[in-house]
A and B are shown apart, each in its own frame.
Chain A
Amino acid sequence: MTAIGETPAEVGKARVRKEDARLITGQTNWTDNITLPGLAHVAFLRSPHAHARITRVDVSEARNAPGVFAAFTGQDVKDEQGSLPCAWPVSEDMILPDHPAMAVDTVRYGGEIVAAVVARDRYAAADAIELIDVDYEELEPVLDMREAIKPGAVKVHAEGNKSYTWELANGDLGAAFNDAPIVLDRVYRQQRLIPAAMEPRSVVCAPVGDEYTMWSATQVPHILRLMLAMVTGIPEQSLRVIAPDVGGGFGSKLQVTAEEVLALLLAKRLGRPVKWTESRSEGNVAVHHGRDQIQHIRLAADADGRIRGLDVDLLADMGAYLMLVTPGVPILGAFMFNAIYKMDAYRFNCTGVFTTKTPTDAYRGAGRPEATYAIEHIMDDLAAHLGVDPLEIRERNWIKHEEFPYDTIAGLTYDSGNYEAATARARELFNYEGLRKEQSERISASSPVRLGVGVSTYTEMCGLAPSRVLGSLSYGAGGWEHASVRMLATGKVEVVTGSSAHGQGHETAWSQIVADQLGVAFEDVRVLHGDTQVSPKGLDTYGSRSLTVGGTALVLACGKVREKAKAIAAHMLEVSPEDLEWTGGRWAVRGDPDQGKNLAEITLATFAAHDLPDGVEPSLDSDATYDPDNFSFPHGTHLCAVDVDTETGRVKIRSYVAVDDIGHVINPLIVDGQVHGGLAQGIAQALYEEAAYDDSGNLVTASLADYLIPSAADLPSFVTDRTETPSTGNPLGVKGVGEAGTIASTPAVVNAIIDALRPFGVTDVEMPCTPERVWRAINEAKGGAR
């Protein structure tokens, strides 16, 4: 399908990113840098209570404060604000409560918007916010999922605290568990996390007549435009959404937020442009959170450790409301608990629970990190139970490379993979045997600092997604992606992608692909994205989908350019198109390579259109919309060594080896960056991060002084390497790498800690494995202080 020419391949080169120079030298506009004539600034008053009835909101003093243009309450906007959208009703009877952008009579989490001020600058707006008087009648918070679903529990919504129950089952689970020689029964907890993208959210909305342009730090300009139209009733064609350079998202900007809807409504009301930019502490309470599950997992195995069945019951915290894809996130995990392993029976059951906490939604990995953590943890438990090496127990159960394509118990078809190769490479780089030896020496010497080795042989599903599959899961949209290629008269190329980058490096990787596909120079390709007027079709960037889906659309569009060029080249050369072959940017006569036309020549001739074949339109420009047939399945083996100071509980990562198989690599530098960042984020879940609430339902980690994000100073030097088993599902043979590091690393680290402490009798440490928790786990296992 691809026609890589004789020109040196761009794909595979460690190109420095095109976009970085402007990003790191201030030569760009982040949303918050945008200023417009007459721009007004919005500040929001947020609920200080987790759960309360609003009995009075008085904004009169704020309205009269210096520099204030207007102030609004929920009552003021209730007739036009609609309900914030949820695009993923996972079941027909799912409870989908009304979600006002501004609370009208009840607040259900600390941080929910209660009032808004529009003023001449941010300072005046923030000052006026302090003049707003709100009377609350406090209600009991709902903080514990297990309590929330008990009869008689305080209700977050009148309809009840259980949003939905969703089940997937395959095989005879009863038979698998009955008389199974080994049954492991575990409960793991996925703590709540805060995505904390580098750039806080920001939105600017400008009205021009009845039309509106919105700039937003969003991952999803196309989805945002559609949803804004549906929520507010403003016609879709009157809305333009621009995602300028966006500083990270990790899922947190895969959202249609209250602030975006309100910015649009306030701009409409006032007839002037408005801007809102959040502070970090505002973001910590108001950006959707991630993870937060209680995972009950049971595994039945034969005496030799072969898995017979797996039974998973999840409680997933939705928070106070269902946001864009909130209910679907844990369900993505349904297809991943079985991971790389073969088994006879599987059941997955998930109950979505409302609490009076910030809503949850997609966070890097979205469903797959949770599943991978649980299965990789229990695989280690199984190995320990049998006294078998954790890599050995995995090998006994994993799908062999010759068994692909493989239909999994969860209903997916893994197209390719080679777990043996990735594991062998990781073992070698890690010095697995040497570390195991050192580990036993330390145990023999009763060393106070123990060594632990953690294993994670993960896979994940990405390349979201085949539209038919999304439809079968009741998702509200498809999973295709769009690309356009415009040939400029000078032979340069403009590429438009519907996959809106927010840090991934599309401009570089897409240029590399186009350079090879069309035989043009890397520098001659310009990539445009993130503006619904420039790239009208697209489904944006999440779920490691850009390259597998958007990249394939690009390859298909380039193919159409080549085919159009072929007909014109044949006419120019006065030969039949069948006599031509593509030789790296040039259509040449087969057997007579001197006779040919390169793409620049053909493009110019097409532009002039003086002598085109009859019926051929004077344009090489081409579009393609690609809907994948299958997901892609990156996999790999991550090995982590930790030193655990048993006197203090401190964990130090000593070495970390990540061998990932993401298929073909377009740009190894970008891939390494994705892996490093992913590892940092996954390690952060294992060791540092937790969105913690007090008994009243206040988020006590509302600042980065309390919500601990690791820096480079806290992380080891990573050893990364790759094996390459191409995906068979797309012409580039790529799989996606945006989330793999996050998915793989959390269990690798926690398994390493537990591995170090198993001699004391420790079988689990709840995440994040803080020094205090590790110290207590050791003490408890020793029968000492809890």
Chain B
Amino acid sequence: MIPAQFDYVKPSSLEEAVRALASDEDAKVIAGGQSLLPLLRLRFAYPSVLVDLAGLDALRSVTDNGSSIEIGALVTHYELTRDPLIAAHAGLLTEAAGTIADPAVRHRGTIGGALSHGDAAGDLPAVVTALDADLVITGPSGSRVLKPGDFFSDYLTTALAPDEILTAIRVPKLSGWGYAYEKFNVTAQAWAIVGVAAAVRRENGQVAEARVGLTNMGSVPVRASAAEAAAAGADASPAALAAAGARADEGTNPPEDLRAAADYRRHLARVLTGRALTAAAGLS
């Protein structure tokens, strides 16, 4: 990698990190580097200083908050796949994290970095969207909490101010819910053409509640609201859930790129949502 020149600081506290960001408008946070390094390598980004969060050990923990699990921003994708608390209460994250890129990337990449990068083609944004997680942000004037719908604002853009850091993700415990992440990519290491993160709560042979987050179906991760509504109250049967899934692309504006045309993405979203709901309902 032959990037342009940059300075480097490695703060030992969150306050120090925020100060470093606030003091230089071209400063950029680096965590695992799996999104930033490609940009530096291709000289698409010219940060003046990299603020390395590696010294902030407080951001590496996973804790049980009672009704939610709090995941530090520096928790790696690999750790997401191995953490017992996350597996017990937010298995959708466990499953989706295991599909990210390859083992080398999973060992370096962090959940905070993946979300802050704001890539709608990434897997975790759709998952936290489906789970309606709280995203905890720290800046010079303290902390604030955003919902995914407010955090992801546009293509590769989030509501993070240049001097703010995403520090933690609070994922509500979904007791008794089933879940599935249907990722559709051409090779194992490739980004999803479309991904569907689904969580389903069954009650008396019916689907009581469903949540569906879509990967790469717009400039930001989106909820498949029409499919969620159609699934709620439907029979817990593959046919009924396929029918609900068939509404997944309503209200979406999927991209056209090298990998897929928009109509194909819409089709995949419909098919895969049906499959994800069916799997989440424990029917496949």
Task: List A residues at the B interface (Cβ < 8 Å).
Answer: 122-123, 126-127, 130, 279, 281, 647-648, 650, 687-688, 692, 700-701, 703, 705-706, 708-711, 713-714, 770-772, 775-776, 785
Contacts and interface: CB of A to CB of B under 8 A. Distances in A.
Contacts, number: 60
B258 A711 contact: no
Contact of B4 (A127, A709, A714, A770): A127
Contacts of B42: 281, 703
B187 A772 contact: no
Given A708-B186, A708-B190, 8 more contacts: A122-B2, A126-B43, A127-B4, A648-B271, A688-B186, A700-B258, A705-B38, A772-B261
Contacts of A127: 4-5
B272 A648 contact: yes
Interface in B259-274: 259-261, 263-264, 267-268, 271-272
Contacts of A772: 193, 259-261, 264
A126 B258 contact: no
Contacts of A785: 263
A775 B267 CA distance: 10
| Residue with the highest number of chain B CB atoms closer than 10 Å, among A126, A130, A771, A776 | A771
B189 interface: yes
A711 B187 contact: yes
A752 B90 CA distance: 40
B102 interface: yes
B188 interface: yes
Contacts of A692: 258
Contacts of A650: 184
A688 B193 CA distance: 14
The 7 closest A-B pairs by CB, nearest first: A713-B188, A126-B2, A772-B264, A708-B187, A714-B187, A647-B271, A122-B2
Interface in B155-189: 184, 186-189
A710 B188 CA distance: 8
B191 interface: yes
A539 to B, nearest CB: 36
A359 to B, nearest CB: 23
**Chain B contact residues, majority secondary structure:** loop
6 contacts: A127-B5, A279-B2, A648-B184, A688-B186, A700-B258, A701-B258
B110 to A, nearest CB: 19
Contacts of B5: 123, 127
B196 to A, nearest CB: 12
B41 interface: yes
A492 B258 CA distance: 57
A7 B244 CA distance: 73
Interface of B: 2, 4-5, 38, 41-43, 102, 184, 186-191, 193, 258-261, 263-264, 267-268, 271-272
Contacts of A705: 38, 190-191
A316 B186 CA distance: 28
B187 A775 contact: no
A776 to B, nearest CB: 8
A709 B187 contact: yes
Given A122-B2, A700-B258, A711 B41 contact: no
B115 to A, nearest CB: 19
B264 A714 contact: no
Nearest to B194: A648
A711 B186 contact: no
Contacts of B261: 772
A711 B102 contact: yes
Contacts of A711: 102, 187-189
Contacts of A647: 271
Contacts of A710: 187
A621 B166 CA distance: 71
A705 B44 CA distance: 15
A771 B188 CA distance: 14
Contacts of B2: 122-123, 126, 279
B256 to A, nearest CB: 11
Contacts of A123: 2, 5
A775 B193 CA distance: 14
A770 B271 contact: no
A710 B186 CA distance: 9
Given A708-B186, A785-B263, A771 B4 contact: no
Contact of B184 (A130, A687, A771): A771
Contact of B187 (A279, A281, A688, A700): A688
Contacts of A714: 187-188
A456 to B, nearest CB: 22
A285 B102 CA distance: 25
Nearest to B1: A279
Nearest to A448: B271
A120 B115 CA distance: 39
A415 B186 CA distance: 42
Nearest to A770: B186
A228 to B, nearest CB: 27
Contacts of A281: 42
B258 A771 contact: no
Contacts of B41: 279
